[in-house]
């Protein structure tokens, strides 16, 4: 479990590092430019970290399934070697897919200018600059990616159905509560990841730049990597105690200030 959480943390750190540093650097230097190779690199890593995140969340769903549905076999099935092999397979597969996706994207002939209406190199915005009929190969790659993500999604759904059936059969209320609390962080992370991604890519692409496009891009590219560590860390007893102490200290200071005034 901790090996998978460590891998998720690395992916979140990488995902947030793809867009924010360049955007901040442009803001500080009062520029809006990015090199062609920089745009290629950004697209590759955006696809890589998004797909790797989804693949790892799928593996974590299987981890939760084994922990709840087959607890006596957990150490045998989810041993260190198995975790490493699954994570490595996911990373290698995603690297190949990202290379294919990026290669197809930048094999397109761009004739619609060189202005991308976004704070990073987003594929839908790049396709707006493509010449007619020159982006059909990329469309097929997108369809393949959609099928891949759909298979991940269906696997997670089937896994959680099995988990729910097993949990409802647990006789004690305490046991059911413990099982649900084990799955809750993972379920919240997956829900946030999928909802922001689906909302971003199912929304029609506007012909002119809008504040909504920017807000949606921030929502799906920044929010999940930032929130994932918080969601998973909130179950830690030491972090809970620190939060209680911090909020209690602030309330105490606020009350003292009110009395003073």
Most confidently modeled range among 49-58, 123-132, 166-175, 201-210 = 49-58
Q: Please state the length of the chain.
A: 261
Q: Which CATH superfamily is domain 2-236 in?
A: Rhodopsin 7-helix transmembrane proteins (1.20.1070.10)
The structure's pTM equals: 0.79
Model confidence over 131-152: pLDDT tens digits?
766 556 667 777 787 888 888 8
Is 256's pLDDT higher than 60?
no
| For residues 164-183, average pLDDT | 82
Residue range 3-15, pLDDT digits in tens? 888 888 888 888 8
Confidence band (pLDDT; 50, 70, 90) for 261?
very low
Between residues 254 and 2, which one has the greater pLDDT? 2
SS (H, E, C) the chain: CHHHHHHHHHHHHHHHHHHHHHHHHHHHCCCCCCCHHHHHHHHHHHHHHHHHHHHHHHHHHHHHHHHHHCHHHHHHHCCHHHHHHHHHHHHHHHHHHHHHHHHHHCCCCECCCCCCCCCCCCHHHHHCCECCCCCHHHHHHHHHHHHHHHHHHHHHHHHHHHHHHHHHCCCCHHHHHHHHHHHHHHHHHHHHHHHHHHHHHHCCCCCCCCHHHHHHHHHHHCHHHHHHHHHHHCCCHHHHHHHHHHHHHHHHHHHHHHHHC
Please give the structure tokens belonging to residue 84: 């490493």
**Rounded mean pLDDT, 35-52:** 86
- Domain boundaries along the sequence of the chain: 2-236
80-129 residue pLDDT tens: 888 888 888 888 888 888 888 888 877 777 776 677 767 777 777 777 77
């Amino acid at each position: 479990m901790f090996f998978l959480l460590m891998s998720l943390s690395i992916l979140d750190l990488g995902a947030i590092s793809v867009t924010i540093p360049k955007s901040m650097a442009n803001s500080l230097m009062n520029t809006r430019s990015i090199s062609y190779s920089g745009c290629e690199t950004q697209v590759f890593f955006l696809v890589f970290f998004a797909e790797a995140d989804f693949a790892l969340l799928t593996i974590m769903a299987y981890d939760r399934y084994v922990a709840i549905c087959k607890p006596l076999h957990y150490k045998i099935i989810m041993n260190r070697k198995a975790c490493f092999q699954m994570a490595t397979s996911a990373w290698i597969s995603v690297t190949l897919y990202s290379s294919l996706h990026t290669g197809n994207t930048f094999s397109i002939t761009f004739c619609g200018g060189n202005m991308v209406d976004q704070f990073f190199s987003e594929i839908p915005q790049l396709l707006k600059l493509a010449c007619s009929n020159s982006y059909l190969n990329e469309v097929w790659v997108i369809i393949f990616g959609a099928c891949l993500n759909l298979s991940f999604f269906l696997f997670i759904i089937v896994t959680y159905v099995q988990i729910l059936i097993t949990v409802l059969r647990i006789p004690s209320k305490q046991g059911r509560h413990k099982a649900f609390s084990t799955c809750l962080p993972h379920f919240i992370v997956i829900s946030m990841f999928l909802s922001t991604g689906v909302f971003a890519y199912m929304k029609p692409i506007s012909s002119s730049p809008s504040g909504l496009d920017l807000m949606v891009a921030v929502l799906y590219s920044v929010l999940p990597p930032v929130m994932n560590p918080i969601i998973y860390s909130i179950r830690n007893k030491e972090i809970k105690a620190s939060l209680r102490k911090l909020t209690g200290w602030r309330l105490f200071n606020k009350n003292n200030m009110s009395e003073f005034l």
